[in-house]
Amino acid sequence: MIRALPDTLARMPLTVAVPGLVLVLLLGVSILVSERVVTRMVAMQERHLSDLAETYLDGLAASLLPAVLRNDIWEVFDTLDRAAVSYRGLSPIQAVVVDDAGLVLAASDPVAAPVLEPPPEDLARAIGGRVPVIDAARGRAFLWRSLTVSGTSVGTILAEVDITALIRERREVIVTLVVTNLLLTLALACVGYLLVRRLIAPARVLTRHLVDGISGPFEPVPTADLPLTGTESRRMIDAYNGLVETERSRTHLMQRLAEEERLASLGRLASGMAHEINNPLGGLFTALDTLKRHGDSRPDVRETSIRLLETGLTGIRDAVAATLHTYRPERLGSGLTPADLEDVRLLVSPEIKRRGQRLTWHNGLDRRIALPGAPVRQALLNLVLNASAATPDAGTVGVGIGIGVEAGGLCLIVHDQGPGLPDDAAALLTRSQGAAPIGSDGLGLWMIRRSVDDLGGTITVGRASPGGSRIRLDIPVPKEGIADDRA
């Protein structure tokens, strides 16, 4: 239990844990102090009572001894009777004198302790004990004193004293102590709570901003919540605000870099597309020239030329259409279709062809699913382009796309025959909420990561079977977004 205590405390808010600890410590101290005070008071009371008792017994013994020696019942009674009035400070209830035979010679209350009878049990029990013998439960103290002459006992004085006033005083002190300590402890706990709450207010503000930053952008602490200038808390908050500003600037820069990267990619694609268009253009002009020259006379030549023209123009149209799809994402707002992913195949095919590589493509998506098309396609496009770049010329790049109702999501797998993804690049992909890379290296991977994070997906980096990397994206799709919504 004690080992679990720190964990329990650690889970508590500081505003509760610190005052709570202070409260427990104060309670401990107050209990200890109270116990000491009460013990000391009890000892003092008993010493005081003992002194009074000794004085009382001394006085009685001096007065009684001659009468006891004479066995003078009346004198003993008269002395005890007068002593009952003389020692009011001690509140004697009864006093008994027994003779050397142990029988009552006389008592202040002869009815309770008749002459020539054994003394009352309560009083007799005290004989031999340390004076006073206290019975706190009944509020009584019992005293005794042997009456001796030349070392020989001639009788014994026994007395019962009312100490309810002492017990009441003791009880009142205890109650006062407990109540005072309790009130003091509670007051100090409240003060402690308010102080600690005030002291850790900046830390709470910081914690709130950090927690909010997990689910959204990190926001700087507003001026109204800033602690006093020059304090440790202020330096901490200032450092946080500086960090947020730096991160914001860097993210902004990354976005700009990403945009530039996109534009660069667009340039590359544009050049690829120009290449795609340019390549057939020579053939198309040749076919056109042939058509001009022999189109009238040679129907077969005309047929062939027209077919070549059609084929070439179709290829150009497809390339242009895919580009339009990719860079007009607003058209993809209604979900992800198999054709969206096929566009990726079309877009990368010029690069694949340029490298003399082979693209194995398996698209298992057979319906429209409720996922935003643009980020998925962008992520897949980046992955395939990276895979192509990593794979040597004439190598193979593989793409597998699957959708599973049971699995609950879309699965994209891209593998290459490259040397394998470096660790830092893999970390960029797999570290959720990872910071943007410094510089433009790995920017494409970071953007994939961002896209997948936005979609709530995960990325797994592994090794492909013949060699190279195997990157798998799992993107959750609501079940209702999968079922029977075929494209």
* Binding-site ranges for other proteins (CB under 8 A): 72-74, 77-78, 81, 106-107, 109-111, 114-116
User: Smallest distance, Å, CB 124 to other proteins?
Assistant: 19
User: Smallest distance, Å, CB 143 to other proteins?
Assistant: 21
Question: Which residue number, 77 or 142, has a Cβ lying nearer to other proteins?
Answer: 77
User: Smallest distance, Å, CB 73 to other proteins?
Assistant: 4
Give the C-alpha distances (Å, rounded to integers) separating 320 from 268, 283, 307, 343, 346.
Answer: 14, 19, 20, 11, 10
DSSP state of 55: H
CA 267 to chain centre: 49
Question: Which residue number, 83 or 475, has a Cβ lying nearer to other proteins?
Answer: 83
Q: Residue ranges of the alpha helices (H) in 200-231?
A: 201-215
Nearest to 429 by CA among 462, 455, 400, 461: 461
R_g over Cα of the chain:
51
Q: Residue ranges of the alpha helices (H) in 3-131?
A: 4-11, 14-69, 73-86, 121-125
Question: Which residue number, 106 or 308, has a Cβ lying nearer to other proteins?
Answer: 106
User: Smallest distance, Å, CB 116 to other proteins?
Assistant: 6
User: Smallest distance, Å, CB 158 to other proteins?
Assistant: 16
Question: Which residue number, 114 or 329, has a Cβ lying nearer to other proteins?
Answer: 114
Query: Which residues are paired to 458 by β-bridges?
Result: 474
Q: Which class for 64: exposed (0-12), middle (13-18), buried (19 or more C-beta within 10 A)? A: buried
User: Smallest distance, Å, CB 105 to other proteins?
Assistant: 10
| Interior angle at CA 371, CA 366 and CA 374, nearest 5 | 100
Contact by Cβ (8 Å): 373, 332: yes
Distance separating alpha carbons of residues 97 and 95, to the nearest angstrom = 7
Question: Which residue number, 102 or 222, has a Cβ lying nearer to other proteins?
Answer: 102
User: Smallest distance, Å, CB 127 to other proteins?
Assistant: 22
Question: Which residue number, 106 or 397, has a Cβ lying nearer to other proteins?
Answer: 106
Question: Which residue number, 70 or 256, has a Cβ lying nearer to other proteins?
Answer: 70
Contact by Cβ (8 Å): 140, 161: yes
- In this structure, what token pair is assigned to residue 64? 């009684």
Query: Which residues are paired to 401 by β-bridges?
Result: 363, 412
Question: Which residue number, 47 or 82, has a Cβ lying nearer to other proteins?
Answer: 82
A 10 A CB-CB count for 6 gives: 9
Contact by Cβ (8 Å): 161, 143: yes
User: Smallest distance, Å, CB 111 to other proteins?
Assistant: 4
Distance separating alpha carbons of residues 428 and 442, to the nearest angstrom = 7
